[in-house]
Structure 1
Amino acid sequence: MQEQNEPMSLNQRLIRSPVMACVAGCAILWVSFGIRQTFGVFLIPITTETGWPRSTYSIAAALLQLLWGFSQPFLVFLAERKVGFGKTIFVSSIIYAVGCFILYASGKSAGLFVFAMGAVIGISAGGNSFPNVLASVGRRFPQGSKHQSIAFGIVSSFGSFGQCCFLPIARAFLISIGWRMTFIVFGASFCYTYNAYLSVFTGLHCVFMVALSPLAYYLQTLPPIPALPQKNDEEEIVIDEKKQNINQAEVSQQEEVQYRPLEDISAPDIKTALKEAFTSSTFIFITLGFSVCGFHIAFLSTHLPAYLQDNGINSSLAAWTISILGLGSMIGTISTGYLSTIFLPKYVLMGIYGLRAILIVIIVFIPISVTTVMVFSVFFGFLWLSTVPPTTKFVGDVFGHKYLGTLTSITFVGHQIGSFMGAYIGGVVYDKTHSYNRMWYGSIAMAAFGIAVNFLAAVEPMNKVRARRQVKIEN
């Protein structure tokens, strides 16, 4: 055991460094999330070559989303309480690569294809996604601090940046080597090329994949840094005098959370934390609201390129729309991370879903053209993954940060149930009606639902709920 006065080595300082953790988290989400968001551009090439209906591809994409969500709480629990975040992320990345090889070998076997994309890649995705990465990064900042919230936004934004980068790469690979070899390239750590142009892209991608796993080393599990110290006595006296002149109910919940120690909010153990979450209407409302985000993202990432091609938009531009969504999402996630330090996260989420509804109305009721597609992609991009920072902060403000990874992974199950519905129902609706119109109407209704459940979610921290329950028991 290291002596208290002994200086830390460079490696130890890097492991504990919040900057290094952010760099590692950004790189991991950039590659892992970016590649997963390319699967929508494969829908038409694969169904055309194999003769499968779109619902077959949709069920594979939908199972990926569903198993991604359901595996995540177990993998996050494993990371948080057992083996650590770094090892979990590393092993998950290896399993993901295996899934890509199975996709290559699937041929025209729909069952093997669904197994590879839905089960293998879906389960592995739960290990190197947002909850594990953000929970590890968040432990290196004071809990509930403004710096932590901004870090959540910056790290989350690189998932969107990966989406922006890998969509054009996937499109280039599809044209040059076909969908099977593209999956090999996305899963392999070696370079398989046909021309010099492709060699550059593939070689770069191999570097990224090789760099991904070692970076997980800098996301090892560390004890969370306590919340910022409470205000000094003079500040507390001034605040107490002001509070005497105003209604206690008008005091900002967010200000209270900012200065409350971590132990006062978080449950004493994981069993209590889970019990409190599952019996809390606030946690249920947060999860339901997050499912709306999943519905929108999975429907658009899986079916938007095909929808645009069906309406006469060039396939290259249709693929670029997902990249534009990812580019805009970089700005959106950073912005909502910052806005969540100013406004309560519930109001930030309500604003996001309200703006989504407006943009979906535009794409549905205004004739499709290059202009409308670009406007929709740019502005919807700001809202693409922008729900992640406020949702993470919402859970942390109410339930504390001690078990934030586990609790946010459970909310992500709701997100992925919505994703399953968005990806699968979109394919079924198209096969039956040869149109996506009903899915667009459903997306508008889901946005309204997201506004409603976030409005109903309370912001009272759990330590107050526990205190009130204790008083009732004693009385």
Structure 2
Amino acid sequence: MSIFRFPLLVWLGIGILIISLGIRQSFGIFMMPITDTFQSGREFFSLAIALQNLLFGLFQPFVGMAADRFGAKRIITMGGVAYAFGLYLTSIATGTGVLYISMGVLIGLGLSATSYVIVLGAVAKVVPAEHTAKAFGLTAAMGSFGMFAVIPGAQSLLANYDWQTAMQVFAMFCTLMIAFAVFMKTANPSSSASGQAEQEQTLKEAMAEAFRHPGYWLIHAGFFVCGFQVMFIATHLPSYIADKGLPGNTAAMALAYVGIFNIFGSYFWGLMGDRFNKRYVMTSLYMMRSVVLTLFITVPLTTNTATIFGAAIGFCWLGTVPLTSGLVRQIFGPRYMSTLYGLVFFTHQIGSFIGAWVGGRVFDYYGSYEPIWWTTVVLALAAALIHLPINDKPVTRPTLQSA
């Protein structure tokens, strides 16, 4: 299937992801101006972002269940409202406590309803199984364009205005997600092309089936590592680069390169997931991460090496998304994918919480990010090995298959 023949829902989902994830990935460059405003250490901002990511994941299974039951359109609309309100409330905050509610709770809820789990769950119901990884890869890739487009825009806003104005501009952009959701027509689960056995399976049975599958828990473990790595880098890379005395726009450029190369990387890893065994492709991705991270730590940091790192880590940044979601869909089918992938994503966000928070904690304690950088290398190697023993064959349901 050509990418140009994908249903309209796929392209609307891409638009939603561009806005939702683009804004989210820009929060790292707000760390220093916000902490300067409130005269606080970096752990405060790190904890607010960590709380956002934890709640992003905590809300995800419940939001996924709601999307499986009521459809993605309503859930994305609700998420766009929460996201916009959280950004606006952040912009008018006068104390640090408010940011835990606005950046933590509200934006966490908004992200859970407007990001990969909901969009990919909707896509899974309208794209044939043999093209799932490619469709997921395209969605993740084009969604990543938001990182490339939004971060330089945020940097420009911070250079010409204050961070409060930038947050308010972002809040207005969230209304576009609501507009896109209005035109989404998601498939009715009962009429999907998944087979009778899957249609007759209840949500409780689907969850019990997944919890009994050892590979499901290995998928959780691998995605935990992904969350730890990407959120530590997204949150702390700008400050790490600034600490080394490099110009302020170096960090923005490095993150922008993460975004643009993630576009190519996500689609590439999605294509590889359709052509080869997803487990081996995932192992290759994490091995590449470990090499890139090791080189970044050991090579002297300059503007050029920071930019090269952004491009290299960007190529394997969110390639885990089409592969992980593709494994869940391949093993358990599309019927309850938003729920089952939502649970996996919760584990990802636990990793994100720890990566964002511990990064700031380690810096405030040691005055250096070096220990946490080496931790990301070790975790990448562990994740590469974790995926090898997964049994990725579709589950059989004997009692329903006999019918």
* Same fold at TM > 0.5: yes
> What is the identity, as a one-letter code, of the residue corresponding to 2:113?
G
SS of the aligned residue for 1:70 comes to: helix
- Cα root mean square deviation, aligned: 1.9
- 1:213 aligned onto 2:178: yes
Counterpart of 1:90 in structure 2 is 77
Contact 1:267–1:273, Cα closer than 8 Å, also in 2: no
Counterpart of 2:103 in structure 1 is 117
Give the alignment partner of residue 298 of structure 1, picking from 204, 208, 231: 231
Of the two structures, which has the highest relative contact order with CA contacts closer than 8 Å and spacing of 6 or more?
A: 2
Q: Which runs of 5+ in 2 are unaligned?
A: none
Counterpart of 1:285 in structure 2 is 218
How far 1:218 sits from its partner (Å)? 3.3
> What is the identity, as a one-letter code, of the residue corresponding to 2:395?
M
SS of the aligned residue for 1:341 comes to: helix
TM-score, with normalisation over the residues of structure 2? 0.94
Structure 2 counterparts to residues 26-41 of structure 1, below 5 A: 26-41=14-29
Q: Distance in 1 between matches of 2:222 and 2:368?
A: 27
SS of the aligned residue for 2:393 comes to: coil
Give the alignment partner of residue 422 of structure 1, picking from 344, 355, 359: 355
Contact 1:133–1:219, Cα closer than 8 Å, also in 2: no
How far 1:158 sits from its partner (Å)? 2.2
Give the alignment partner of residue 102 of structure 1, picking from 74, 79, 89: 89
Q: Distance in 1 between matches of 2:14 and 2:63?
A: 20
Contact 2:222–2:386, Cα closer than 8 Å, also in 1: yes
Query: Against the structure 1 CA distance between its residues 263 and 331, is the aligned structure 2 distance closer, same or farther, given a 3 Å change threshold?
Result: farther
Counterpart of 1:73 in structure 2 is 61
Aligned-pair identity (%) = 32
Query: Against the structure 1 CA distance between its residues 440 and 185, is the aligned structure 2 distance closer, same or farther, given a 3 Å change threshold?
Result: same
Q: Which has the greater radius of gyration?
A: 1
Q: Distance in 2 between matches of 1:381 and 1:421?
A: 21
Contact 2:83–2:106, Cα closer than 8 Å, also in 1: yes
CA deviations 1:360-381 (Å, max 9, x no partner) are 0001111111222122111111
How far 1:416 sits from its partner (Å)? 0.3
> What is the identity, as a one-letter code, of the residue corresponding to 2:230?
I
Query: Against the structure 1 CA distance between its residues 266 and 392, is the aligned structure 2 distance closer, same or farther, given a 3 Å change threshold?
Result: farther
TM-score, with normalisation over the residues of structure 1? 0.80
Query: Against the structure 1 CA distance between its residues 220 and 226, is the aligned structure 2 distance closer, same or farther, given a 3 Å change threshold?
Result: closer
SS of the aligned residue for 2:162 comes to: helix
> What is the identity, as a one-letter code, of the residue corresponding to 2:183?
Y
- Give structure 1 regions of 4+ aligned residues with deviation exceeding 2 angstroms: 209-212, 217-221, 223-227, 261-267
CA deviations 1:402-461 (Å, max 9, x no partner) are 111111111100110000011000000000011000110110111012112111222232
Counterpart of 1:312 in structure 2 is 245
Give the alignment partner of residue 145 of structure 1, picking from 113, 130, 154: 130
- 1:42 aligned onto 2:27: no
> What is the identity, as a one-letter code, of the residue corresponding to 1:90?
T
Contact 1:95–1:124, Cα closer than 8 Å, also in 2: yes
Q: Distance in 1 between matches of 2:195 and 2:41?
A: 52
Give the alignment partner of residue 187 of structure 1, picking from 162, 167, 171: 171
Counterpart of 2:322 in structure 1 is 389
Counterpart of 1:7 in structure 2 is none
Counterpart of 1:371 in structure 2 is 304
Q: Which runs of 5+ in 1 are unaligned?
A: 1-16, 189-205, 228-260
Q: Distance in 2 between matches of 1:439 and 1:262?
A: 46
